[in-house]
């Protein structure tokens, strides 16, 4: 079941992000809107789009979350490998994604303090942004 879900989730996530999928969805909404006068703007006519979009939205939440979880795990594994491979990098940062939000914030603040508040590290960023 897990392999089946992963395979389906990957395919749907890929296709959901394609321009052709957006075009098809837009065409469906336009056709639905254009059919309003034919069906006399009835409650059933409205129920069709409401039900359809609710079902699609409900299912897509799970597929999108699966894709985000997979991507986050892959990125974290790559970052952990970089920390492990780079001489001078601190191995204690491997696995910090499992800490709570307050613990992560404390680490972030400690790193910024360690870097030094007097160092004008924001200036290169301003120059970079100014180049665009």
Over the stretch 49-79, which tens digit does the pLDDT of each residue have?
Answer: 999 999 999 999 999 999 999 999 999 999 9
Q: Do residues 71 and 15 both lie within one domain?
A: yes
Residues 53 and 112 in one domain: no
User: Is the Cβ–Cβ distance between 21 and 28 less than 8 Å?
Assistant: no
Give the domain range for residue 111.
Answer: 99-132
| Separation of alpha carbons 59 and 64, rounded Å | 9
Return the number of other C-beta atoms located less than 10 Å from residue 12's C-beta. Answer: 18
Same domain? For 17 and 82 the reply is yes
Residues 6+ apart with CB under 8 A from 36: 45
pLDDT in tens, 79-90: 999 999 999 999
pTM of the model: 0.67
Same domain, 87 and 124: no
Number of domains in the chain: 2
Structure tokens of 56? Answer: 């699609």
Same domain? 24 vs 52: yes
Residues 51 and 41 in one domain: yes
């Amino acid at each position: 079941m897990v392999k089946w879900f992963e395979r389906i989730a990957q395919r749907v996530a890929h296709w959901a992000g394609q321009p052709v999928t957006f075009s098809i969805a837009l065409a469906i909404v336009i056709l639905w809107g254009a059919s309003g006068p034919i069906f006399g703007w009835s409650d059933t006519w409205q129920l069709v789009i409401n039900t359809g979009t609710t079902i699609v939205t409900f299912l897509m939440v799970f597929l999108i979350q699966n894709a985000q979880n997979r991507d986050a795990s892959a990125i974290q594994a790559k970052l952990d490998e970089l920390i492990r491979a780079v001489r001078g990098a601190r191995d204690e940062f491997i696995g910090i994604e499992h800490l709570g939000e307050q613990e992560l914030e404390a680490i972030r603040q400690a790193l910024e303090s360690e870097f030094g508040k007097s160092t004008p590290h924001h200036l290169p960023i301003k120059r970079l942004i100014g180049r665009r």
